[in-house]
A and B are shown apart, each in its own frame.
Chain A
């Protein structure tokens, strides 16, 4: 059940009605049932996986809270993390690991038949696994108390608006709201929720899906394309992935608001960043914070010497790459970001400039860098990635001009223009800022967005890109 489908809208209206009609003390039941139904709409059997993951963390964390022995607590945490990562490894990384072993043995002329698993990747597994791991670590660190109520904890793990593609929520924020639900629907929350939902839908069906059509056209036949067309396709893919993922996040946050729950902000116009370091403070913020709190800082962060600091950065971004997908391309993507951030640190250019001229230049240059780093994410396999880089390195600027002119007035380009204008003006941090504008502005904006969705929206109900993670 995709957010950009009528089935979901019908489902959502039903859930909202049931939720607000029930007594606050029992609302978690309605939401838990809805969340499980929502997840089962993809593959019913994988609900067992969520139940296993939920049980592991529920019981190990009860044990962690009950125990005062540091050694035992450490073992408890290790068990929880190991089992969660074990599930993730089995479903997501096993085949990649087997293929990597096969390649490694081939280097030494040793025959190794990879043992390929036929298990399908359950949607959202990377998201809820990270969410449950953060819970276990927070309990271990005594930052939160373990949740005694199994049903409420199960809802924290499976809360349907953010179950499939985040934001990755911490227990402090989400579990707190589940335990103390808001008693009545606030009009401002409804306004913000609807605004975010419509805007997210626009990003998905107008910008992302239309950009994808053109980007796919070039990338699927990359060997026949010139460098200019491929660079244009890389630009479109860069916009596609942002509009797709941030569109999902907006819809998730909007949906949660309609149920009276506040989720964390996940994007703050990341393509208006002046450096890669700033980009990661605005892109998939909940993952960045997760990696900062549970990987980067435990490794020592920036306080243990320059070389170790750079090593920690490298490890964190390497993990960010591999979190996204089980392939060498994602590892290359993570490593590229690590190198760029390290270079920025060494050259001391990671701080934003305040003068508007330099600011603009830096935003443009940074955006170009991001476009290039997205090529590994879009291409399939290292040979294709290298071939695309090679073709772009021999670019004739006329080819780029012709590629852009060909699509200058298309659904994708109009959507991108509208998106960037909004982000450069009203929606710098979030589109909800628009609800403070005069009524005429709000209505004009909402009507324009709805008409653009009806006129330009891709009607094929394409899945969100980040579901594969």
Chain B
């Protein structure tokens, strides 16, 4: 084969590859924008397009499964998402602000104290990967994703890559008509079951490993400050909470103290439910595991939380 032929074939192949990539990316972009179901950030799209509220809760599964807007009031919405923590939440707040979709009165952010320990940083950054679609349009998302290494910039030369890990769901679920809608207020209850006590016992054994690296991750404080500045600019109140545990890891205390200090310095209201004695939650039948209340426990917690917030 001559050099000319090799060159010609390489260019032809690259051209076909780029064309296919752009086409797949374009189709998936369209699918993404029209998705309102609870996968591939459809719940965020739905909120941005159609919802508004006075009080918005953002957090991990400890919001998704532990905040029932039906208890807290009709103008409350839950935008919690499983296994998503501080970095992701900060990006969501930024996205909402850029789309003029912040709550009218109060933003309540559930902060996981474990996020404060430096050793969690790679997984915190990794969580932002589910917002790849916004890489080119949102600087904050881009900066978090780029923290993973220089190669990220190269990967995003591909349009298809923006839908890595969620693109398949966008296509297949819409073809099958699958739409995993949670209740419109965003709350996904954990129904009590016979396995709760086993799960609780197991998580009590597993969740108490000593924390190896006790250095705090300063990006968390920067993120809080960033969210606070957005809230101030839009004249809404920011409240940071930490949901209760059945039994708190002894080393979380120092992180809680640090957050409390920081919040008081920044004039942010911080309610630490971890160390509050909430009547009823000492009963293990109200827990799904050590970190999550079941539906019954959520009711108890939310009534208490309502009193606390509006007192």
Contact = CB atoms under 8 A, between A and B. Distances in A.
Interface of A: 5-7, 187, 223-224, 409-411, 414, 439, 443, 446-447, 450-451, 454-460
Majority-rule SS of A interface residues? helix
A443 B12 CA distance: 9
Contacts of A411: 165, 168
Interface stretch (B17-25, B83-91, B213-221, B303-311): B17-25
A456 B17 CA distance: 17
B13 interface: yes
Given A6-B149, A6-B154, A187-B6, A451 B164 contact: no
B297 interface: no
A409 B168 contact: yes
A459 B13 contact: no
A459 B158 CA distance: 14
Residue of A5, A6, A414, A454 ringed by the most chain B CB atoms within 10 A = A454
A454 B9 CA distance: 22
Interface in B159-194: 160-161, 163-165, 167-168, 172, 176
B97 to A, nearest CB: 27
A212 to B, nearest CB: 14
Given A6-B154, A447-B16, A455 B160 contact: yes
B165 A459 contact: yes
18 contacts: A6-B150, A6-B151, A224-B199, A409-B172, A409-B176, A410-B168, A411-B165, A411-B168, A439-B9, A443-B12, A443-B13, A447-B16, A450-B17, A455-B24, A455-B164, A456-B165, A456-B168, A457-B164
Contacts of B149: 6
Given A187-B6, A409-B168, A446-B13, A451 B160 contact: yes
A451 B22 CA distance: 11
A409 B151 CA distance: 29
Residue of B126, B167, B195 ringed by the most chain A CB atoms within 10 A = B167
B164 A456 contact: yes
Given A447-B16, A459-B129, A460-B126, A454 B151 contact: no
Nearest to A442: B13
B1 interface: yes
A287 B165 CA distance: 35
Contacts, number: 56
A455 B126 contact: no
Given A224-B195, A455-B24, A447 B163 contact: no
Contacts of B9: 439
A451 B168 contact: no
A176 to B, nearest CB: 28
Nearest to B23: A451
A199 to B, nearest CB: 16
Nearest to A187: B1
Contacts of B24: 451, 455
Contacts of A409: 168, 172, 176
B158 A454 contact: yes
A447 B168 contact: no
Given A446-B17, A454-B21, A456-B167, 4 more contacts: A224-B195, A451-B21, A454-B164, A456-B164
Contacts of A447: 13, 16-17, 20
Contacts of A224: 195, 198-199
A455 B21 CA distance: 10
Residue of A7, A224, A411, A455 ringed by the most chain B CB atoms within 10 A = A455
Nearest to A446: B13
Contacts of B165: 411, 456, 458-459
Nearest to B132: A459
Nearest to A457: B164
Nearest to B148: A459
